[in-house]
């Protein structure tokens, strides 16, 4: 397939390599001319992956027109809160037959919409043409071609299977799902849980604490998923538990690293400067909380993370508040 990857950051570059290794014709679009030139001339993106050599067939451009011309698959790898504006630029350039695949794990703050909903709304296309790629996919490991699996979620099973076969490689194994809502929600919420785990790590807490946050975080994700009519099994699979464990456990995780800075006492701005790349959970947490409140679902970990990010609570106080909640049965 002819693929356009919109976004030349860490995950956009890693996914473009996967698509290229699978035998597709791939072009990356990015705003940074220096990054684009380096990809084209040196087959590198040293800003995000300094040790990786990209496929020579992989090209890049700063022109949306050039990137989207005749593209059969359009992969979106941009920050969630920039999705709507970027899609508006793209709308007149996308062919009617193109399949859109979101690589973005977030919720729009102003509307509380999942990325697939934003895509359908802005591009005014059939929902069946929109797919999502999610799962335990740390860009730093995938760029090194370490074995991993993912999930292609779509309302149309045939389209999901088309993408599955188009992007499978020797090191990347995609599964399919028809639970678009569950896969997207899990991908967005696990970033918030990784912030919480990072805070605990930054405070010097150990494996018991991390396991507690991961497990109760998964319960929180599943509760909200149930309220949104997601499939419960999604949260015990790659898109749920798999992605949650990877993002909460790995020092490669931007959200966990961001949380660690907060746990060590850094301000929000200091954590942003130290992390350098986008930690989606920071902007997504308030949207998740608003979505949960709209559906009357308790999300205490998310609520605590939002209060820390807003400066209303320290990381240590957040832990104390969570531990002091009323006692109850596990399920």
Residue-wise pLDDT tens digits, 12-51: 999 999 999 999 999 999 999 999 999 999 999 999 999 9
- Every domain of the chain with CATH number 3.40.50.720 lies at 2-178
**Known active-site residue 91:** no
Helix, strand, coil shares, percent, the chain, to 5 = 55, 15, 30
Cα–Cα distances in angstroms (integers) from residue 299 to residues 31, 260, 293, in the given order: 37, 21, 9
pTM metric for this prediction: 0.93
pLDDT band at 275 (very low <50, low <70, confident <90, very high): confident
pLDDT at 323: 87
| Closest listed residue to residue 192, CA positions, set 127, 270, 287 | 287
pLDDT band at 326 (very low <50, low <70, confident <90, very high): confident
Active-site residue, selected from the candidate residues 69, 96, 190, 327: 190
pLDDT at 310 over 90: yes
- Every domain of the chain with CATH number 1.10.1040.10 lies at 181-323
Mean of pLDDT values over 200-225: 95
pLDDT at 214 over 80: yes
- CA 9-51-74 angle, 5° bins: 30
**Residues 6 or more apart from 180 whose CB is under 8 A from it?**
116, 130, 132, 153, 154, 155
Instruction: Concatenate the DSSP letters of all residues of 163-185 into one string.
Output: HHHHH--SSEEEEEES-HHHHHH
In the CATH scheme, what is the code of domain 181-323?
A: 1.10.1040.10
| Closest listed residue to residue 99, CA positions, set 165, 149, 23 | 165
CB 144 within 8 A of CB 52: yes
Fold of 2-178: Rossmann fold (3.40.50)
pLDDT at 35: 97
What radius of gyration do the chain's Cα atoms show?
A: 19
- CA 253-216-287 angle, 5° bins: 65
Average pLDDT of the chain, as a whole number: 95
**Residues 6 or more apart from 110 whose CB is under 8 A from it?**
none
pLDDT at 276 over 80: no
């Amino acid at each position: 397939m002819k693929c356009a990857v919109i976004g030349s950051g860490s995950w956009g570059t890693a996914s473009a390599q996967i698509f290229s290794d699978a035998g597709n014709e791939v072009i990356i679009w990015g705003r940074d001319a220096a990054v684009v030139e380096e990809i084209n001339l040196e087959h590198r993106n040293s800003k995000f992956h300094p040790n990786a050599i990209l496929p020579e067939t992989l090209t890049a451009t700063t022109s949306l027109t050039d990137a989207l011309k005749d593209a059969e698959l359009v992969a979106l790898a941009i920050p969630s809160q920039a999705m709507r504006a970027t899609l508006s630029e793209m709308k007149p350039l996308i062919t009617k037959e193109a399949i859109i695949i979101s690589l973005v794990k977030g919720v729009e703050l102003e509307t509380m919409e999942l990325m697939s909903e934003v895509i359908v709304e802005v591009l005014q296309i059939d929902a069946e043409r929109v797919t999502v790629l999610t799962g335990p996919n740390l860009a730093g490991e995938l760029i090194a071609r370490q074995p991993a699996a993912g999930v292609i979620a779509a309302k149309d099973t045939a389209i999901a299977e088309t993408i599955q076969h188009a992007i499978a490689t020797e090191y990347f194994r995609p599964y399919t799902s028809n639970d678009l809502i569950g896969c997207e929600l899990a991908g967005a919420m696990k970033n918030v849980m990784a912030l919480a785990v990072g805070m605990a790590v930054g405070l010097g807490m150990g494996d018991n604490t991390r396991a507690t946050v991961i497990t109760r975080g998964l319960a929180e994700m599943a509760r909200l998923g149930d309220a949104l009519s997601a499939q419960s099994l999604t949260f015990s699979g790659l898109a749920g538990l798999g992605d949650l464990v990877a993002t909460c456990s790995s020092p490669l995780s931007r959200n966990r690293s961001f949380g660690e800075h907060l746990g060590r006492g850094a301000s929000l701005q200091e954590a942003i400067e130290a992390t350098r790349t986008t930690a989606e959970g920071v902007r997504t947490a308030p949207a998740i909380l608003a979505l949960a409140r709209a559906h009357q679902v308790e999300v205490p970990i998310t609520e605590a993370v939002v209060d820390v990010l807003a400066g209303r609570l320290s990381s240590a106080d957040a832990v104390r508040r969570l531990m002091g909640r009323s006692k109850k049965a596990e399920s």
